[in-house]
Chains A and B, each alone.
Chain A
Amino acid sequence: AQKVTQAQTEISVVEKEDVTLDCVYETRDTTYYLFWYKQPPSGELVFLIRRNSFDEQNEISGRYSWNFQKSTSSFNFTITASQVVDSAVYFCALSREVEYGNKLVFGAGTILRVKS
């Protein structure tokens, strides 16, 4: 069975601090996909990144970076120089190969509060 664990229920930081959101996953598949979504207070789900199991390169997009390590089954997300607008719930998710359609398995989410 597939499982995603986000052990940090809530994190509070002061603006400009760096913050890392942890994501640990479990799967028996050799091919799988990992995602991060952001849910701001307005409630919509915003796609941030997709990573497939064959691509272990770290990714950087502006203040966001992701560290994928298959050896520890982790896909952590770091926000550098956090801003108040980063306050949201962040979800890590896992899916099987595309043939299985839309079966995303989500973690419970991490609430990030950035204070000015």
Chain B
Amino acid sequence: NAGVTQTPKFQVLKTGQSMTLQCAQDMNHEYMSWYRQDPGMGLRLIHYSVGAGITDQGEVPNGYNVSRSTTEDFPLRLLSAAPSQTSVYFCASRTRAGSYEQYFGPGTRLTVT
């Protein structure tokens, strides 16, 4: 199993550009989510999904869109990048049952200039 994969690993955007951060998992996990990590603030939940076709907002959803058309994929779209979105983004997944451990991807470091 590859676990949770994220692409790209690094990205630089100009203000106003749009892009999609990709996240995929091969563990057949129902739950997936996106977090952003900023210095001194830990990780904050952006959006999450409890299954294909079902998504909801987390703590800091503004400026981001998600969709979940398959169990495996959960892309995060930045509609019009802003410098405040400079951050490290983590995708995570977990099964509905079991140990409730979340499996995190390796992260995407995004810089918006």
CB-contacts of B45-73 with A (<8 A): 45, 48-50, 56, 58-59
Interface of B is mostly: strand
Q: How many A-B residue pairs have CB under 8 A?
A: 66
| Chain A neighbourhood of B58, CB < 8 A | 103
Tell me if B40 and A108 are in contact (CB < 8 A): yes
| Chain A neighbourhood of B43, CB < 8 A | 91, 93, 104, 106
Tell me if A102 and B42 are in contact (CB < 8 A): no
- Which of B41, B49, B50, B104 is A44 in contact with, Cβ under 8 Å? B104
A84 touches B (CB below 8 Å): no
A50 touches B (CB below 8 Å): yes
| Shortest Cβ distance from residue A3 to the other chain B in the assembled complex, whole angstroms | 11
| Chain A neighbourhood of B32, CB < 8 A | 102
B75 touches A (CB below 8 Å): no
| Shortest Cβ distance from residue B51 to the other chain A in the assembled complex, whole angstroms | 9
- Which of A98, A101, A106 is B42 in contact with, Cβ under 8 Å? A106
Tell me if A44 and B106 are in contact (CB < 8 A): yes
- Which of B42, B97, B101, B104 is A50 in contact with, Cβ under 8 Å? B101
- Which of B40, B48, B97 is A101 in contact with, Cβ under 8 Å? B48
Tell me if B50 and A43 are in contact (CB < 8 A): no
B96 touches A (CB below 8 Å): yes
B contacts, CB < 8 Å to A:
31-33, 35, 40-45, 48-50, 56, 58-59, 88, 90, 92, 94, 96-97, 99-104, 106-107
A contacts, CB < 8 Å to B:
4, 6, 9, 33, 35, 37, 43-45, 47, 50, 91, 93, 95, 98, 101-109
5 contacts between A and B (CB under 8 A): A37-B104, A44-B104, A45-B104, A47-B102, A104-B102
